[in-house]
Amino acid sequence: MTSMDGKTDTELLAELIAEKHRVLEQLRELARMQPEIIGAGDMSRLMSVLAAKERMLSRLKVVEQRLNPFREQDPESRRWRSPAARSACRDVAERCEALLKEIMVIEKQSETELVARRDQTAARLHAAHDASSARSAYLHSAPRRASRLDVTSEGS
């Protein structure tokens, strides 16, 4: 079957799988940046990376939607230009699955690191609050010195 732009279904499928692979590679590179950024505590840069990842995920969603019709097809009924073209597309699809797994591992590690950073920050804030509370309590319980000096004497 040929599409309106002259491509066969399998050529379109191969192009979409290749596009998915490119997007996943970009997502992996962004994900690989996160641990260093989190470790440095650079939340501004982290937000930029997360925004870029959001754009990549939107692209991936579009590609996945365009792949939906192919999911309903019987893979054995597809007509490929050659066995090599079919094999190449299958190889790229398998690399996509491997990339997705790798991204998920990196994301889980980044999440764990971010939670640990959050907990450390919360502990430091709690310690600072406790120190401030102790200082405040000490200042309020210390005897107040007279603010005026009594210079009068008895018997003069």
The dihedral sign for the CA sequence 50, 95, 101, 105: negative
Burial of residue 85 (CB within 10 Å: 0-12, 13-18, 19+) is middle
CA distance 112 to 65: 31
Domain residue spans in the chain?
9-136
- Name the DSSP class of 77: G
- Residue 107, both tokens: 């994301």
Whether the Cβ atoms of residue 55 and residue 8 lie closer than 8 Å to each other: no
Amino acid identity of residue 22, one-letter, is R
Beta bridge partners of 2: 8
pTM: 0.73
Write out the chain's pLDDT in tens, 156 residues.
Answer: 555 567 899 999 999 999 999 999 999 999 999 999 988 989 899 999 999 999 999 999 999 999 999 999 998 999 999 999 999 999 999 999 999 999 999 999 999 988 887 777 777 777 776 666 666 766 666 566 655 656 676 665
Whether the Cβ atoms of residue 92 and residue 18 lie closer than 8 Å to each other: yes
User: According to the model, what pLDDT value does residue 123 have?
Assistant: 77
CA distance 21 to 95: 7
What's the chain's length in residues? Answer: 156
E-assigned strand segments in 96-140: none
